[in-house]
Structure 1
Amino acid sequence: MRFATAEIDGEEFCGLLDRQRFHPVDGGDLRELLSSGELAGAGRRARSRAGVPLESVRLRAPLQPPTIRDFVAFEEHVEGVARAVSGTGVAPEWYLAPTFYFTNPHAVTGPFDEVARPPGCRVLDFELEVAAVVGRTGRDLTPEQAREHIAGYTVLNDWSARDLQSTEMKVGLGPAKGKDFASTLGPCLVTADELEPYRDSDGFLRLQMRVSVNGEEIGRDLLSNMGWPFEDLVSYASRGAEIRPGDVLGSGTCGNGGCLAELWGRPDRADPPALEPGDVVEMTVEGIGTIRNRVTEGTEPPPVRRAAPRPRDRS
């Protein structure tokens, strides 16, 4: 099944997408349906109703997640960005476990929304990903158990302000204003069973991923090139911590042009320019769908003063 959130006459409804029609469901929004365990039942009931033409609604983000963990599971992406930033290779520690960071769940944008360039940014980038959505509460899960906790998948664009990110990460903490301004989800949540036919013999989902800017293809990869399958990501996230319905776990950016920063380190092609207002970024993932966002100009930020020198008195 495919679940989406749509705006109809100024109101938002969770619903089932079926043959170019949107069928509103009962029982609340998508996150509430996941928490109650009633997602499949609500979808079956909704399918029996007439619904409305999909072109008459505006699709929003499928859900507003309580948390977003974004992993970095593609070796080729890590390799390309490391080469562009520092001229080095993949850190040996990357191979030990699937690393992630938390990003802002309050900055989720819809699949066809405009996205403003964040204040102070002049080097804006996209990041093509797939995200798993948690359907059941769990803790300290094995990968086999974790598979049963994945409700479905959606497309994720983890937008990045590369200039801001580069500066703030030198402090040694992690991305902040370089990442927290926008994460696009959509166009729908595809339930996990729908994508099982794409699973390969190694347990990875073999889905084609593509991204273009202003109609020109920039990157193309397979989701199965992840270093770990999603079950391992969910299992690791649950280690000593609780995952809950609606939590979003991103795959990390795919390789082969999944973001511009990866390409900036390649000597065999001209550097693609950073995104500018007016640029349209389109991402398509096989079996899930397409998101399309136009970049707009952001606001000018107020100045940030330097840290004040302090005498370090103790009394």
Structure 2
Amino acid sequence: MNDLLPSSDYNHLRAFVAVAEALSFSRAAEVLGISPSALSQTIRGLEESVGVQLLLRTTRSVSLTVAGENLFQRLRPAMTELGEALGQARTARDRPAGTVRIHAFRSAADHYIEPILAGFASTYPQIVLDITLDDEVVDVVAAGFDVSLRIGELIEQDMVAVRLGPELKQIAVASPAYLERRGSPAHPRELLAHSCIRWRWPGRQQPYAWEFFEGGRWFDVAVDGPLIVNDKELSLKAALNGIGISFCVEDAVHDHIAAGRLVPLLLDWAEPFPGIFLCYPRQRQMAPALRAFIDAVRGMAP
């Protein structure tokens, strides 16, 4: 046989093994779920293909020729091995195993990955979750990841994207102590006269320009200030300490605002944007371990 066995050849060989084991066309046809006449035609096709008679048929019995016996002795263990291999593949489908490589924004991991870890490890002890947390925008496939959790506006068009949460909104916030010293900006462009805590996307050189919405369009403000960080949590803590104005996702500062530790600013120019999505490459056959992880994360979505 060549490198790959055509499906027609496999069916011919499977039919031959069934007849050789049963020494009966009717019993073999019943096992295969086809008619005896169709089985007889399949065997004739195999004999024509190999150029030798494999079975001796009479009206009462079926027996193997010498060539047929030799072929049967070689095929039977191979077909048994193939059946066992397929059985193992089906078992792997039913009991997922392997490694799932995950890239996630930190905020996404807090909401959708951390809460499932204990239950997932208990349910799927043979799956290893290899998790990388950072806010860098990576090419999922090129970087070798199986799946990513990130905001919707940063997803490649050829990826499958599953919404996990509601839209998000970024707002400017500052401590009461800072505002008492410096006053409150009345428009986003007045931020240029304030001390702002800038944030830089991991892997990028320039700090992120704060985005606002006015008159049906987005616009950027390239703020300035005494501190540049690449961690949103540090930016929030700096604002709480009165260093300057920070730009944060509203949900992350809700409790601080409610407690009076931070004051929201410029809300009239804050507009929602796509929230957290789970994304992965399109694929015809998804690995069972990846499917198990995706289903678990989707179960966290409201």
Give the TM-score of the pair, scaled to structure 2: 0.21
Report the structure, 1 or 2, having the larger strand content: 1
Greater relative contact order structure (CA < 8 Å, 6+ sep): 1
Give the TM-score of the pair, scaled to structure 1: 0.20
